[in-house]
Structure 1
Amino acid sequence: MLDLAGFQLTDDEAELLRRPAVGGVILFSRNYRDPQQLIYLTEQIRSVRPELLLAVDHEGGRVQRFRAGFTRIPAMARLTAYWQQDPAAGLALARDCGWLYASELLAHGLDISFAPILDMDRGISEVIGDRSFGAQAEVVEALAAELMAGMHEAGMATTGKHFPGHGAVAADSHLEMPVDEREYAVIEAEDLRPFARFARPEFALDGEPALMDAVMPAHVVYSRCDSQPAGFSHFWLQQVLRLQLGFDGMIFSDDLSMAGAEIAGGYAERAEAALQAGCDMVLVCNQPQAAREVLDWLEQQGRLQAPRVLQMKARRHPTMDQLQDEPRWQICHGKLQALVD
């Protein structure tokens, strides 16, 4: 999965997207001017290769790439504060929030947002902070379950991140390599709990599946468990996630251009380490030449297919006019704006 430079697809980018090792495109704020431009861009991409997975980080709060013309989504900590005042209303709003922001993205041609955050906020990690539902696993589980149920209801697959939990380290993996020195038993009893719950196929909410369709592991070294970051770790991705937790969904690497990925070497080595550990798709963002290096390596290796991608494709694409005519959108939009303002 790679990114684009601007508001529309260039001829060079279109040619790049035709390469068989490209499986998806992630969009950023630099790719967004207004709703009509975004629809045009996603249509351009699909005219080149309709099967590509179109993604964005659009979880709310500090991490919302598209703003003007979209409902402003509060940080998840604001939803938790709302839930603390009225638990029943808070759970309902979490579900409506997932439905609304997924529906708005689907209306503009996207397939997924990399959400929700399942990390716990321990007051240590600034890069997580209010992106988290909080410090208690049961609260994270309750609100994330509703949010994911709403996303599924809209027709969008879910991605839990950052496995097995990024909240206990101060370092920002965009800039340096965080090291979590806790024992496995402590991680399992705390941060791993939401991932463990939603990885299990039998988990359901009101008769509707509310589990993770995908996972994004952390660029964090859990030094008492493995010497490699989770995204390059056979222990975390195979032994724990696949075997112990029984997860059979998609595994995305986090961005291989982050400092937390440098431990694996050059970009081709990073891609190889992630895929060998168990990732299905690797992300290379903000480094066009590095993305080409990874594509060259993938094509040389003959690694061109990620079968689980199909389960991440959008199941419907409403229009914004249809959404804005719905009382559910109107009520939820108003409640969310009140939490942001």
Structure 2
Amino acid sequence: MTLSADFRAHIGGFQVDMALDAAPGEVLAVLGPNGSGKSTLLAGLAGHLPIDQGHIALDGRTLDATIGDRAVRVPPAQRRVGLLGQRPLLFPHLSALENVAFGRRAQGEPRAEARADAGSWLDRVGLGDLAGHRPALLSGGQQQRVALARALAARPAALLLDEPFAALDVETAAQARRLVAEQRDSAGIPLVLVTHDPLDAVVLAARTAIVHDGRIVQQGPTSEVLGHPRSAFVAALAGVNLVSGTGAADGSVRGDDMLWRGVGDAVPAGAVATIAFAPGSVRMQRADAPASAASVGSNAWEGTVSTLEPMPGGMRLRTAEQPGIAVDCPSTVAVAAGIVPGVRLRFSVHPDEVSVRRV
């Protein structure tokens, strides 16, 4: 049941040009900022948006294609492509149980069997005791869980998820992620997961695609896309630092007033390379304190704190000398070191925490 697509489409003046595929039992995560074209991509795959050119196929069956002047288009209801959007869109006059059973009933399954299966899915999302409630009596998070159960109960040949965890609290979102992971492992269907949260990609997706301005700007294994982005844009989205440099004769990489050694395979002299590392991997100490061995020489630098931004469990700081590099600092460390704007610090990154790639 491989899902493959290479198409162009538009909504008003906004154009998308996307090419991707998702294998059976695979989750492809799609990340990008608001307005980048992620939901438009899903609308095209689901058949809710006519494509201008290209093709969409599922398990070798053409869903959309342009052949000369003729367009082949399978209606959304006949595609067996499930779509769970950002809003639950439950039928207000039906109970939670009947909402979940709707897809199976529409496929011709007898009412008793569809209701029994729907009850099982509601139990799996933790809402079995609310089966008789209509959507108006459910919270937003509960409605989203019912919608997820409805999408999974319909046994789609491919499943598209558009920010399915955004409206859920932390505990419920973790439960919903487990459900998606179970579906990935048991149903053997391709899943395309649109999300703003890189954690969703790390937890669920073997591959990740980054969308910007209606195009996929990078895709590949999640560990590579998020661990070593190809551009500053993708690095910011993935939450990692990305600096560039030039290989030296001794195998080091020099750039941005920084010297990097022991960062993997040697970069040939004169070759351009990028270096990626997580903000949380940076060690720091005050510049007026006795220098540790790790904070001197390669993979180390000094800077004057210019900005501090609160974050869970601590703060993120930047320096006047390297404003593009973010450093995460736990609250206890920040208090103990007296870190405030204007304080000068030493920074270092262990070679094991650094990824280097030749450009």
What's the TM-score once normalised by structure 1's chain length?
Answer: 0.28
What's the TM-score once normalised by structure 2's chain length?
Answer: 0.27
**Which structure has more helix as a fraction of its residues?**
1
**Which structure has more strand as a fraction of its residues?**
2
